[in-house]
Amino acid sequence: MAATQSFDITTGCDLQEVDNAINQAMKEIRQRYDFKGLNVNIDFRRTENKLILRAPDEFKLRAVWDVVQEKMVRRHVPLKNMQHGKAQPAAGGAMMQEVNLQQGIPVETARAIVKFIKELRIKKVQAEIQGDQVRISSPSRDDLQTTMHQIKEKDFGVELKFGNYRTN
């Protein structure tokens, strides 16, 4: 009997890198002339996987978001895994915006990945959802590599990571 090969598809943000990027963004914001004397804040809620941006008006809020994005890109945090909501009024006439960090593949996306793999019709390639990740298995390494290449070509709305390659 042939050994089964498998790999996992996951997604997520490295929370330490997010924290570092937020610290760098706040440092830059404190030094920028256009933010002098303004109440601008970025609150990173690690347990909730959420950022809360606060600024005096919507224009400044967009500028804060631009700085955050720049720092995230430099720290290799995938921007696809950040869903930012609409700007909302906050206390004191300020504006607030929530940014959710995607940790783990959402169920709808996992189902879309499994459906896509089945539509490829590659013999003996199996896909199964395991919590917030998808495991792909097959007796053939070549089929797994073909599947991986096809998945990389398609956009599922989140940054996908391939890992945990193993032989069973």
Ordered domains of the chain (ranges, CATH) = 5-12+105-167 (3.30.70.860), 15-101 (3.30.70.990)
CB atoms within 10 A of CB 3: 9
Q: What is the Cα 90 distance to its own chain's centre? A: 26
Q: Per residue in 19-77, pLDDT tens?
A: 999 999 999 999 989 888 888 999 999 999 999 999 998 999 999 999 999 999 999 99
From first CA to last CA, the distance across the chain in angstroms is 11
pLDDT, tens digit, 9 for 90 and up, residues 151-164:
999 888 888 888 88
Q: How far apart are CA 158 and CA 140, in angstroms?
A: 27
Question: Who contacts 59 (Cβ-Cβ below 8 Å, separation ≥6)?
Answer: none
Give the predicted TM-score (pTM) of the model.
0.81
Residue 1 has pLDDT above 60, yes or no: no
Using alpha carbons only, what angle is made at residue 24 by residues 40 and 65, rounded to the nearest 5 degrees?
Answer: 50
The distance from CA 167 to its chain's CA centroid, rounded to whole angstroms, is 28
117 in helix, strand or coil?
A: helix
Complete DSSP assignment for 51-68: EEEEESSHHHHHHHHHHH
